[in-house]
């Protein structure tokens, strides 16, 4: 059984004080004894104060990006070891906004996955097609390429320890969600590709999240799909009530 995972991607939102307030609200409502693994991914300057605020809770900390070099003269960059030392267990890698606005490609994603694992972080590797690619019916080709190159520096055993987030770009921040059937179709494809390349055991273990306008109203139907192991939540994770409702929707399965 794969434990469900809900990760909140705060993107570039919240000051330190606002972030601490949101965490306080989340912890106040967080379901005791839940079997859901929950991660929050705030911006870099909020990591340490939020790590401290999460100390007595089971909610985990993640970052939104990482640089792949270990250290050196790379102004503005943050290494995987630094994230680890700031209390992170997870890091989002290759989010479509990184790919779109910061020119990240699949090779950069591969280097970042390697760096994250080497530092003891669990990467959440984001993949997903753009609208024109869906219209051109090349979804599987795009996802296959992102998977193949992105994971090219990992061993089979390492593959099952990462998390994949399938996020169709046309569904991110648009209010338009893939239907549960559309999402399941791609999740199933991803798992079958992992099976083909890395074997059944690793395919059975790896967690594949769905992301793209997940809200309390659509979460349960998405998480009920057999190959959807939770969600990467953007907009709705900035509201404690909605975020908790999404965690609860994952639990009800």
E strands, the chain, are 5-9, 37-41, 60-63, 90-93, 122-127, 163-166, 207-211, 230-233
133 is catalytic: no
What is the C-alpha to C-alpha distance for residues 60 and 230, in angstroms, rounded to an integer? 15
95 is catalytic: yes
Choose the binding region for ligand PGA from 18-26, 37-45, 218-226, 232-240 (rule: CB under 6 A): 232-240
Could you tell me the sign of the dihedral formed by the alpha carbons of 38, 103, 177, 197, in that order? negative
Residue 214 touches ligand PGA, criterion: CB under 6 A: yes
In whole angstroms, how close is the CB of 96 to ligand PGA at the nearest point?
A: 7
Residue 104 touches ligand PGA, criterion: CB under 6 A: no
Nearer of residues 115 and 233 to ligand PGA, judged by Cβ: 233
Residue 9 touches ligand PGA, criterion: CB under 6 A: yes
Number of H helices, E strands in the chain: 12, 8
What is the C-alpha to C-alpha distance for residues 191 and 197, in angstroms, rounded to an integer? 10
| Number of amino acids touching ligand PGA (CB under 6 A) | 13
Nearer of residues 19 and 128 to ligand PGA, judged by Cβ: 128
Residue 216 touches ligand PGA, criterion: CB under 6 A: no
Residue 41 touches ligand PGA, criterion: CB under 6 A: no
Binder among 45, 120, 173, 204 for ligand PGA (CB under 6 A): 173
What is the C-alpha to C-alpha distance for residues 213 and 74, in angstroms, rounded to an integer? 34
What is the C-alpha to C-alpha distance for residues 109 and 146, in angstroms, rounded to an integer? 9
Residue 94 touches ligand PGA, criterion: CB under 6 A: no
Binder among 172, 183, 190, 203 for ligand PGA (CB under 6 A): 172
Residue 122 touches ligand PGA, criterion: CB under 6 A: no
In whole angstroms, how close is the CB of 236 to ligand PGA at the nearest point?
A: 6
Dihedral, CA of residue 102, residue 41, residue 160 and residue 104, to nearest 10? 0
Contact call for residues 158 and 125 (beta carbons, < 8 A): no
Residue 79 touches ligand PGA, criterion: CB under 6 A: no
Residue 143 touches ligand PGA, criterion: CB under 6 A: no
Residue 48 has a CB neighbour count (10 Å cut-off) of 14
Binder among 212, 218, 227, 228 for ligand PGA (CB under 6 A): 212
In whole angstroms, how close is the CB of 221 to ligand PGA at the nearest point?
A: 15
Binder among 93, 233, 246, 249 for ligand PGA (CB under 6 A): 233
**Token couple for 20:** 């601490």
Catalytic residue among 37, 97, 104, 167: 167
CA of 219: how far to CAs of 11, 35, 142, 208, 246, in Å? 20, 17, 25, 15, 6
Binding residues (CB under 6 A) for ligand PGA: these are: 9, 167, 172-173, 211-214, 232-236
Active-site amino acid positions: 95, 167
């Amino acid at each position: 059984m794969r434990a469900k995972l809900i990760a909140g991607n705060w993107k570039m939102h919240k000051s330190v004080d606002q972030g601490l307030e949101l965490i306080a609200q989340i912890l106040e409502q967080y379901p005791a004894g839940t079997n859901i693994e929950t991660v929050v991914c705030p911006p870099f300057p909020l990591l340490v104060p939020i790590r401290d605020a999460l100390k007595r809770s089971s909610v985990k900390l993640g970052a939104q990006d990482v640089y792949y070099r270990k250290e050196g003269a790379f102004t503005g960059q943050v290494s995987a070891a630094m994230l680890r030392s700031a209390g992170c267990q997870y890091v989002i890698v290759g989010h479509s906004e990184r790919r779109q606005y910061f020119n990240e490609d699949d090779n950069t994603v591969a280097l970042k996955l390697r760096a994250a694992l080497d530092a003891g972080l669990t990467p959440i590797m984001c993949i997903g097609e753009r609208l024109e690619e869906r219209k051109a019916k090349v979804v599987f080709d795009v996802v296959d390429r992102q998977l193949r190159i992105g994971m090219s520096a990992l061993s089979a055993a390492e593959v099952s320890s990462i998390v994949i987030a399938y996020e169709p770009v046309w569904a991110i921040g648009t209010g338009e969600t893939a239907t549960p059937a559309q999402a399941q179709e791609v999740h199933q494809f991803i798992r079958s590709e992992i099976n083909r390349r890395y074997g059944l055991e690793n395919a059975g273990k790896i967690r594949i999240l769905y992301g793209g306008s997940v809200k309390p109203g659509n979460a349960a139907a998405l998480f009920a799909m057999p190959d959807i192991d939770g969600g990467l939540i953007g907009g709705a994770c900035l509201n404690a009530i909605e975020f908790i409702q999404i965690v609860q929707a994952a639990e009800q399965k």
